[in-house]
């Protein structure tokens, strides 16, 4: 019997603070999207792994972070352009809302300030500080992390995850259509319901469980989405339902992920509601399980 896992990269402004031109639409959708997503999970009593940027758990900061070995200028945006945007830098209220929800969510870690772990400038010291600072802040909320989601899925410094007590992470994405070269082939792949693969958790050389992703729920937007929206059903919903059906019949894991800031319009919330509702329905009528990343890690170890 297989399972479904939802993981969420929850970051408010931190997902984009290092961009020279942060995308306003994504950033302004982050808070309302967070609340909407939480409500949908609550409606269907479905748990997810919310990988939260550690800085969001702070009530306040000086914008300097003198103890953090980050590269020069790393915290410049929160000191400068976002000085008065506390709503993008802090979110203890939002994290508490996850912890208090009845669905039984897992709170995981998405680093402290969204440092990219595969960047050559990210030294061991920086990576360690990102993990240890996030862990320290989480303890004030009685949160003990099990799961880590790498910012922008950039895998690196895995040995430090093991050293600091994590048990699992979401591995690098390898969407099947990335192996295709021709644009038409790619477009067809995005709407082919069979194309989304179920995954298997594996234990890496550090003893950590890799829970790789199956589907990024907002992987094609803009023009391709406009084309496929002429179809009868949202193709991502169709693919997700197909994968959930397969997971209910086999031992594989369907691991879907997204950011709260992907919920920019009504249709985005509708997409997630359709997928989550379908998973809940299958769980009620078959042997399918809905698990957090930590649940998967526990049985894989
Ligand atoms: Zn700060
Ligand atoms: Zn992120």
Q: For residue range 163-195, what is the model confidence (pLDDT) as tens digits?
A: 999 999 999 876 555 555 666 676 677 677 778
- Count of CB atoms situated within 10 Å of the CB of 277: 14
Residue 296 host element (H or E): helix 293-300
- The rounded Å distance from CA 225 to ligand 2 centre is 22
CATH code at 18? 3.20.20.370
Neighbours of ion ligand 1 (CB under 5 A): 61
Give the tokens for residue 109.
Answer: 């870690």
Task: Output the pLDDT for position 209.
Answer: 98
Look at residue 243 and tell me if it is in a domain.
Answer: no
41 lies in a domain?
yes
pLDDT, tens digit only, all 301 positions of the chain: 899 999 999 999 999 999 999 999 999 999 999 999 999 999 999 999 999 999 999 999 999 999 999 999 999 999 999 999 999 999 999 999 999 999 999 999 999 999 999 999 999 999 999 999 999 999 999 999 999 999 999 999 999 999 999 999 999 876 555 555 666 676 677 677 778 889 999 999 999 999 999 999 998 666 566 666 666 688 899 999 999 999 999 999 999 999 999 999 999 999 999 999 999 999 999 999 999 999 999 999 8
Separation in Å, CA 63 to CA 67, 76, 79, 93, 102? 12, 8, 5, 20, 34
The domain total for the chain is 1
Compute the distance from residue 232 Cα to the ligand 2 centre, in Å.
32
Ligand 2 mean position, distance from CA 182 (Å): 29
* Closest ligand (CA of 148): 2
**Which pLDDT score, from 0 to 100, does residue 261 have?**
97
Burial category of 53 from C-beta neighbours within 10 Å (exposed 0-12, middle 13-18, buried 19 and up):
buried
Please state at what angle helix 235-249 crosses helix 183-191, rounded to 10 degrees: 60
Q: What pLDDT, on a 0 to 100 scale, did the predictor assign at position 195?
A: 80
Measure 249 CA to ligand 2 centroid, in angstroms: 32
Q: Which domain range does residue 99 map to?
A: 3-176+199-219+253-300
Ligand (nearest to CA of 113)? 1
Does the residue 224 lie in any domain? no
- As a whole number of Å, the CA-based R_g of the chain is 19
Residues 240, 256 contacting (CB under 8 angstroms): yes
Residues shown for the chain:
301
Identify the pLDDT of residue 293.
98
Ligand nearest to the CA of 150: 2
Residue 192 resides in a domain: no
pLDDT number for residue 149: 98
Q: How far is the CA of 92 from the centre of ligand 1 (A)?
A: 13
For residue 222, give every residue at least 6 positions away whose Cβ sits within 8 Å of its Cβ, in sequence order, or none: none
Cα 197 to ligand 1 centre (Å): 39
What's the gap in Å between 15 CA and the centre of ligand 1?
14
Domain for residue 246, yes or no?
A: no
112 C-alpha to ligand 2 centroid (Å): 11
Ligand 1 centroid from CA 115, angstroms: 13
The answer to the question of residue 39 being in a domain is yes
Q: Write out pLDDT tens, residues 248-298.
A: 999 999 999 999 999 999 999 999 999 999 999 999 999 999 999 999 999
């Amino acid at each position: 019997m297989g399972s479904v896992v939802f993981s969420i990269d929850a970051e408010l402004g931190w997902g984009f603070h290092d961009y020279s031109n942060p995308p306003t639409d994504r950033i302004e959708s982050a808070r309302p999207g967070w609340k909407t997503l939480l409500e949908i999970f609550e409606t269907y009593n479905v748990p997810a792994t919310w990988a939260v940027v550690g800085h969001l758990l702070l009530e306040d900061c000086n914008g300097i972070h003198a103890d953090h070995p980050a590269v020069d200028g790393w915290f410049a945006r929160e000191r400068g352009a976002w000085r008065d945007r506390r709503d993008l830098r802090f979110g203890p209220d939002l994290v508490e809302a996850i912890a208090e929800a009845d669905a039984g969510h897992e709170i995981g870690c998405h680093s402290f300030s969204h440092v990219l772990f595969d960047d050559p400038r990210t030294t061991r010291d920086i990576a360690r500080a990102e993990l240890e600072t996030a862990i320290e802040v989480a303890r004030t909320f009685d949160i003990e992390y099990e799961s880590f989601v790498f910012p922008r899925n950039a895998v690196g410094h895995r040995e430090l995850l093991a050293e600091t007590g994590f048990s699992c992470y979401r591995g690098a994405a390898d969407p099947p259509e990335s192996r295709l070269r021709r644009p038409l082939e790619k477009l067809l792949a995005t709407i082919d319901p069979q194309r989304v693969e179920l995954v298997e958790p594996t234990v890496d050389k550090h003893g950590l469980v890799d829970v790789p992703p199956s589907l990024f729920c907002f992987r094609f937007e803009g023009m391709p989405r406009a084309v496929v929206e002429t179809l009868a059903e949202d193709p991502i919903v169709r693919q997700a339902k197909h994968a959930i059906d397969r997971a209910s019949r086999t031992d594989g894991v369907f691991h879907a992920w997204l950011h709260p800031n992907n919920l920019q319009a009504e249709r985005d919330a509708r997409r997630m509601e359709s997928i989550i509702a379908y998973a809940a329905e299958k769980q009620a009528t078959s042997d399918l399980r809905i698990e957090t990343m930590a649940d998967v890690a526990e049985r894989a170890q």
